[in-house]
Chains A and B, each alone.
Chain A
Amino acid sequence: MVKNSKNECDQCPQICLEACMVARSGKPSVLAGLTADAPTGAWHCVNCWKCIEVCPRDIDIYSLMMARRRLEDMPELVEKSVDNISRTGCSIIVRGLNQIREMYGLKPVRLIEEQKKKILLENESPPSGKTEKV
């Protein structure tokens, strides 16, 4: 979120951690690393954005956690989705998709052309090793 970058997390009573289902379950949450010098699971997040909703300081938690994600290894399944997108433009690959769609009375789909997808994904120097794949 493009927000007032002057806002600083003052580790208020850590309301974000209370709102986070991952943190509440005792697992390392990405928030733990943002609000204190604690171990972090940058990818341990369900994208529910409850943390953002409750933060009284309007901290740009989204950008902070995304930056963290670049520093830690992606979970295997995320890596798989990323790989699928870079190959086909869709994060899930289904063989015979259009035949199945036809059985449901749905129009066939065409996935984005290889060349176009390349252009959309290659247009920057990647900020971390993580992005080399795409």
Chain B
Amino acid sequence: MFFLRGEKLKIIVFPGCMVLARFHEYEMASTMILKQLGYEIIELPEFCCCGASLMPGVTDNWINLSAHTLALAEKYGAEIVTLCGSCTGNFRRTNHYLSRDPEVRDRTRSALDKLDLSYEGDVKVRHIIEVLIDRQEDIRKRVRRHLKFKVAVTCPCQILRPKEISGTITHQDLQIMLESLGVQTVVYPQQYECCGATALLFDEQFGIDKGMSKLESARTHGADVFCTSCGNCLYQMDRYQNKMYQNNPGCKIPVFSLPQLIGLLFGYSKESLHLEYPEVLNFG
């Protein structure tokens, strides 16, 4: 099913600008877990933003940026695995537009042509949450450790919506998978709310309030750890906690990405996963 004629499945792990710049521990854990699951990771010869910071609200050419990365993936015979909700949505939107709009296709084709690239439009794009959910049986075989802490999980909005370009998973699938791997998860009222990270760009306080209210919802419903797998969510939920809890640092909650959490299940040390929370990681 996954491995054709004994070949490993080739993937490009696309971190996106935010993860590339700020969440090395997440990128590292992702490559570790994906390698352990047997994927062959192809390095992108050059990185370019997926266009999510532009979108058509800035220029119609946003699509050329994502098409460039998709064209490279096609050239190397690789799928793309994204680590960020925005990138996932943007690459899929690119595929969607290119397959339906001849005008967009012609314009993008002529830009890629000048770089000696071409793109047929068929590169599969999945977010790492979707990949890990697909591979949960293989993950289960490798679980070596029981985690005592309780986890609040969330999925990036853009891997779930809009339905025309989203994958197949639902919001609950991640939680169901983690429970089946023996991770204790909590149900919390704001589980399906957006973390509000993008609001940090136009109204910082509004963004902080949204993120904090989601974190508080998780914490007051029993979560010891918050788990999210998106550059923007991580920026909001992890890095902004200093501001959120500046008067109440005791209320801060550790934030792990899904690959780091899976890494703990596999038995990796907290040092190798770059996790710095000794209290919840006291495995005894």
Which of B1-9, B52-60, B141-149 lies at the binding interface? B52-60
The prevalent SS among residues of B at the interface is helix
Find B203's partner among A27, A104, A126 (CB 8 Å cutoff).
Answer: A27
Residues of B with C-beta under 8 A to A75:
201-202
Instruction: Count chain B residues whose beta carbon lies closer than 8 angstroms to a beta carbon of A.
Output: 60
Q: Known contacts being A48-B161, A89-B49, is A134 close to B54, with CB within 8 Å?
A: yes
| A47 with B86: CB separation less than 8 A | yes
B68 to A112, Cβ gap below 8 A?
yes
Q: How far is the CA of A117 from the CA of B164 in the complex (A)?
A: 29
**A120 adjacent to chain B (CB < 8 Å):** yes
Interchain CA distance A48-B171 in the complex, whole Å: 14
Interface centre among A90, A97, A126, A127 (most CB of B within 10 A): A90
Bound-state CA distance A15–B264 (Å) is 42
Q: Is there a chain B Cβ closer than 8 Å to A12's Cβ?
A: no
Cβ-defined partner of B22 (8 Å) among A67, A82, A92? A92
Chain A residues, Cβ within 8 Å of B43: 107
The 9 closest A-B pairs by CB, nearest first: A69-B57, A48-B194, A49-B161, A92-B21, A66-B56, A104-B24, A120-B64, A112-B48, A131-B59
Chain B interface residues toward A at CB < 8 A: 17-18, 20-22, 24-25, 27-28, 31, 43-49, 53-61, 64-65, 68, 86, 89, 96-97, 100-101, 107, 110-111, 114-115, 157-158, 161-165, 193-194, 196-203, 206, 210, 274
Instruction: Give 19 new A-B contacts, CB below 8 A, not counting A109-B46, A127-B60.
Output: A1-B162, A21-B193, A27-B203, A42-B57, A44-B203, A47-B157, A50-B161, A62-B162, A65-B57, A66-B55, A89-B65, A104-B25, A109-B44, A116-B46, A116-B115, A120-B115, A121-B59, A123-B61, A123-B107
- A/B interface sample: 9 pairs, CB < 8 A: A1-B164, A49-B89, A68-B57, A78-B53, A78-B58, A89-B65, A97-B21, A109-B44, A134-B54
